[in-house]
């Protein structure tokens, strides 16, 4: 069961044009609130999610939705991921803090899941107007052009995304142990934009850990794999699944299996050091 990819593409772009872009750099203080300590939501998140919820369920009759803001209001909505119905997973504005700050690095992420398997995913960067998408077994694409990740021969050639503490540990180890580490390490504060750049080959790797929420990772992990990358949980080397539990786990993305193992060994020791 696959949705009409073109129809979903159009819906996402239309909701971005009506609910997200008009409010970018135009939010009042009353339109931004803290839903959890250090975690904000804007009216654009709420309005875009509501519009996507309504329109996507029309694409596949009988489908359900799990949205980031929906789950914040009602955690039991996550149970749909383990049920028999097809499910749309919605992150209406990924990188909300960037969006609220007027930083154009934000994205809209949609995944389509059935029987606990991600079958399709879309990542749209409204400010740039670019859509990265994939359907299982059909490759990854950007605006009609197929994306294909290139293998890398040398770990020091890699560019990727790691959290700040892990980057600091690796830089310290490089200085004291003459350790070979990736050439560039960063964080966008927008996982959707990072996944898009992973599929494009602008980033080579990323490591995410914590609760690994499905609206952040379901679409991106599929798109990355369909572009030829290798990604897996670090504790089992199994592919990502949108169905919980994810708490305390880490997900590592790499251009290929060989570099995944090198990065896993490099970041595993360093991540242990961050917890000491």
Q: Please state the rounded mean pLDDT for residues 192-216.
A: 96
Closest CA to 199 of 93, 122, 90, 267: 122
Bridge pairing between strands 249-254 and 230-233:
antiparallel
Question: pLDDT tens digits for 62-89?
Answer: 999 999 999 999 999 999 999 999 999 9
Q: Determine how many CB atoms are found less than 10 A away from the CB of residue 67.
A: 24
Res 97 pLDDT > 80: yes
Distance CA 265, CA 185 (A): 17
Close Cβ partners of 6 (under 8 Å, ≥ 6 residues apart)? none
Question: pLDDT tens digits for 172-187?
Answer: 888 888 888 998 999 9
CB 146 within 8 A of CB 140: yes
Closest CA to 141 of 217, 200, 92: 200
Q: For residue 256, give the DSSP letter.
A: S
Q: Determine how many CB atoms are found less than 10 A away from the CB of residue 158.
A: 20
Report the share of the chain in percent with pLDDT over 70.
Answer: 97
CB 20 within 8 A of CB 126: yes
Strands (E), the chain: 32-36, 39-42, 64-67, 87-94, 107-114, 117-125, 130-135, 140-142, 145-147, 159-161, 184-186, 205-210, 230-233, 249-254
For residue 251, the cross-strand partners are 208, 233
Question: pLDDT tens digits for 10-45?
Answer: 999 999 999 999 999 999 999 999 988 889 999 999
Q: Determine how many CB atoms are found less than 10 A away from the CB of residue 227.
A: 23
| Structural domains present in the chain | 5-147 (3.30.540.10), 155-275 (3.40.190.80)
pLDDT of residue 275: 43
């Amino acid at each position: 069961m696959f949705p009409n990819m073109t129809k979903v593409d159009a819906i996402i772009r239309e909701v971005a044009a009506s609910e997200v872009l008009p409010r970018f750099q135009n939010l009042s203080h009353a339109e931004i609130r803290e839903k959890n300590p250090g975690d904000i939501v804007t009216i654009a998140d709420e309005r875009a999610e509501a519009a996507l919820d309504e329109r996507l369920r029309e694409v596949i009759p009988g489908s359900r939705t799990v949205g980031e803001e929906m789950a914040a209001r009602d955690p039991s909505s996550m149970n749909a991921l383990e049920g028999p119905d097809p499910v749309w997973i919605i992150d209406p504005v990924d990188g909300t803090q960037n969006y609220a700050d007027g930083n154009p690095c934000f994205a809209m992420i949609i995944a389509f899941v059935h029987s606990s398997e991600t079958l399709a995913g879309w990542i749209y960067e409204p400010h740039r107007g670019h859509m990265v998408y994939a359907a299982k077994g059909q490759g990854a694409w950007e605006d009609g052009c197929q994306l294909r990740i290139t293998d890398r021969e040398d770990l020091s050639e890699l560019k990727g995304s790691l959290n700040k503490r892990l980057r600091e540990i690796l830089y310290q180890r490089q200085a004291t142990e003459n350790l070979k580490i990736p050439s560039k390490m960063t964080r966008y504060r927008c996982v959707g934009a990072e996944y898009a750049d992973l599929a494009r080959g602008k980033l080579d790797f990323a490591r995410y850990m914590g609760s690994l929420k499905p609206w952040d990772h379901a679409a991106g992990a599929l798109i990355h794999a369909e572009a030829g990358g290798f990604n897996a949980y670090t504790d089992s080397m199994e592919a990502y699944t949108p169905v919980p539990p994810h708490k305390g786990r880490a997900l590592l993305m790499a251009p290929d299996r060989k570099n995944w193992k090198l990065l896993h060994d490099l970041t595993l020791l360093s991540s242990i050091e961050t917890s000491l």
